[in-house]
């Protein structure tokens, strides 16, 4: 069966997860194979090279580049302290020497005979990689990081903001359709990951920032609110670097869209559990979607990742409509005609017939649905 539809985002009670926790540059791995780690634990660290500062030595000495070498007091690789003399001319009878002092603490990277330029490097910057999820280290990638596995309840979001955070789940919405009032977000939400229903408004996000919420999970968000929050319009969907003090995961899309029931129920059943979330989204060049990871109890022999498979579209399959009309509604496939069919916009497409949750019978382009597993 050809699959002219989107593979749905994963929403599952239990999945074996594998997470690569790798440094951007080689460094030191702090965990061993078999270690049980917590989300907050540092598993690897390294020193990022400091900023490179070009320094025109030939100019400062007042000589041509090819002569620089004979006046040097340092060589590539040397550590330097601010104020230290790096080069000095002989002067006239020992007088009128020109000496050049180091402008910073750091290291000499390179000295060029051709351009007379020195490249100095500022001190290294330490960075750490945390485990992000509670789990077991199943593999150590030498000098780079670790691979952690666990068993989790797992939800993929469609869009998100800001990086990795963890906290306890607290469901604020009473139904998946509710639009929560900012007043519901109070001090009891501090450090928690709060679950809203069909929309999280600008005011609600602001309130969440004030009380110190760790993360927000919502069905929808309004584009205007997003722009107001960030102060700019997102041109291409590459997010995750926003410094807004909390992470946001949107499960359905833009506008008021009730959270998929399966997703809402799952979150509700894990109220009070610790979860790890991130809003990192990239829809180009190595797609990344936001994730909600809720670790569950497991025995180590259960850690066997299943092979990824694409859910099939068949009669009886549960689907979700992902474009207007009926955006967000759930239905069951009742027919899969092979022939191309003309829809309202006059586009000729492969369609499917479905009965929606409200009882309505509709035809929808296959490209406008996603399969919901289970």
Partner 1 sequence: MGNTQKLKRIIATDCGSTTTKSILIEYVDGEYRQTVRGEAPTTVEKPLNDVTRGVVNAVTELEELARLKYNDDSIKFIKDEAIWLSEKENEGVDAYVSTSSAGGGLQMMVTGVVAKMTGESAERAALGAGAIVMDLIASNDKRANYEKIERIRQLRPDMILMAGGVDGGTTKHVAELAELVGAADPKPRLGSSYKLPVIYAGNTAAQDIIKETLENKTDLILTENLRPTLERENLGPARDKIHDLFMEHVMAQAPGYNKLMSWTKGPINGKLTNIPIMPTPAAVGNIMQTIAKINDIEVLGVDIGGATTDVFSVFSEDKVFNRTVSANLGMSYSISNVLATAGLKNILRWVPFDIDESELLNMIKNKMIRPTTIPQKLEELILEQAIAKEALKYAFIQHKEFAVGLKGGQKKREIADAFAQTVSGESIVNMMTLDLLVGSGGVMSHAPRRNQSVMMMIDAFLPEGITRLAVDSIFMMPQLGVLAEISEKAATEVFEKDCLIYLGSCVAPVGAMKPGKIALSAKLELPNGEIFEEEIPFGEVRLIPCGVGEVAKATMKPGKGLDIGAGKNQEKSCELHGGVVGIVLDTRGRQPFVLPVEASERVPLLKKWMKEFDVYPETKQ
- Interface residues toward partner 1, by CB under 8 A: 1-7, 10, 25, 49, 51-54, 109-110, 112, 114-115, 117, 119, 144, 158-159, 222-224, 226, 233-237, 253-255, 281, 283-289, 308-310, 322-325, 327, 338, 342-349, 364-365, 367-368
Query: At how many degrees (to 10) do helices 223-230 and 202-211 cross?
Result: 40
Which lies closer to partner 1 via its Cβ, residue 82 or residue 97?
82
Rounded to a whole number of angstroms, the minimum distance from the CB of residue 214 to partner 1 is: 23
Q: Which residues pair with 361 in a beta bridge?
A: 355
Which lies closer to partner 1 via its Cβ, residue 92 or residue 114?
114
Which lies closer to partner 1 via its Cβ, residue 53 or residue 138?
53
Q: Which residues pair with 48 in a beta bridge?
A: 125
Rounded to a whole number of angstroms, the minimum distance from the CB of residue 175 to partner 1 is: 22
Task: Convert 10-35 to b/e letters by CB count within 10 Å (16 or more is b).
Answer: ebeeebbbebebbbeeebebbbeeeb
Nearest to 137 by CA among 12, 10, 44, 45: 44
Which lies closer to partner 1 via its Cβ, residue 30 or residue 141?
141
- Residue 231 contacts residue 209 (beta carbons within 8 Å): no
Rounded to a whole number of angstroms, the minimum distance from the CB of residue 283 to partner 1 is: 5
Which lies closer to partner 1 via its Cβ, residue 187 or residue 344?
344
Q: How far is CA 100 from the centre of its chain?
A: 45
Which lies closer to partner 1 via its Cβ, residue 56 or residue 174?
56
Rounded to a whole number of angstroms, the minimum distance from the CB of residue 241 to partner 1 is: 12
Rounded to a whole number of angstroms, the minimum distance from the CB of residue 25 to partner 1 is: 8
Tell me how far apart the alpha carbons of residues 230 and 222 are, in angstroms, rounded to a whole number: 13
Rounded to a whole number of angstroms, the minimum distance from the CB of residue 320 to partner 1 is: 11
Task: Convert 213-249 to b/e letters by CB count within 10 Å (16 or more is b).
Answer: bbbbbbbbbeeebbeebeeeeeeeeebbebeeebbbb
């Amino acid at each position: 069966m050809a699959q002219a539809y989107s593979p749905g985002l994963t929403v599952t009670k239990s999945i074996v997860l594998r997470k690569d926790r790798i440094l951007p540059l080689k460094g030191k791995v702090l965990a061993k194979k078999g270690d049980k780690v917590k989300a907050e634990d540092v598993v690897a660290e390294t020193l990022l090279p400091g900023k490179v500062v070009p320094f025109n030595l030939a100019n400062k000495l007042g000589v041509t580049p090819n002569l620089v070498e004979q006046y040097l007091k340092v060589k590539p690789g040397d550590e330097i302290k601010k104020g230290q003399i790096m080069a000095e001319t002989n002067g006239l009878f020992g007088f009128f020497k020109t000496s050049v002092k180091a402008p910073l603490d750091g290291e000499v990277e390179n000295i060029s005979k051709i351009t007379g330029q020195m490249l100095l490097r500022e001190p290294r910057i330490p960075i750490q990689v945390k485990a992000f999820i509670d789990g077991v280290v199943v593999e150590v990638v030498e000098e780079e990081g670790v691979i952690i596995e666990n068993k989790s309840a797992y939800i993929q979001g469609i869009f998100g903001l800001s990086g990795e955070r963890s906290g306890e789940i607290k469901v604020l919405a009473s139904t998946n359709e509710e639009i929560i009032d900012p007043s519901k977000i109070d001090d009891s939400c501090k450090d928690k990951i709060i679950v809203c229903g069909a929309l999280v408004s600008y005011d609600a996000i602001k309130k969440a920032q004030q009380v110190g919420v760790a993360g927000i999970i919502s069905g929808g968000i309004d584009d205007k609110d997003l722009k107001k929050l960030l102060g700019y319009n997102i041109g291409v969907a590459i997010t995750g670097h926003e410094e807004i003090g909390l992470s946001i995961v949107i499960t359905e899309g833009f506008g008021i869209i009730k959270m998929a029931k399966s997703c809402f129920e799952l979150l509700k059943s894990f109220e009070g559990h610790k979860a790890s979330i991130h809003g990192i989204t990239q829809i180009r060049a190595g797609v990344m979607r936001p994730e909600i990871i809720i670790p569950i109890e497991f025995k180590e022999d259960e850690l066997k990742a299943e092979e990824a498979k694409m859910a099939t579209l068949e009669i009886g399959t549960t689907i979700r409509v992902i474009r207007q009309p009926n955006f967000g509604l759930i239905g069951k496939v009742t027919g899969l005609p092979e022939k191309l069919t003309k829809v309202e916009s006059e586009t000729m497409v492969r369609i499917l017939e479905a009965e929606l949750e409200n009882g309505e019978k509709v035809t929808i382009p296959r490209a406008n649905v996603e399969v919901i597993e289970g």
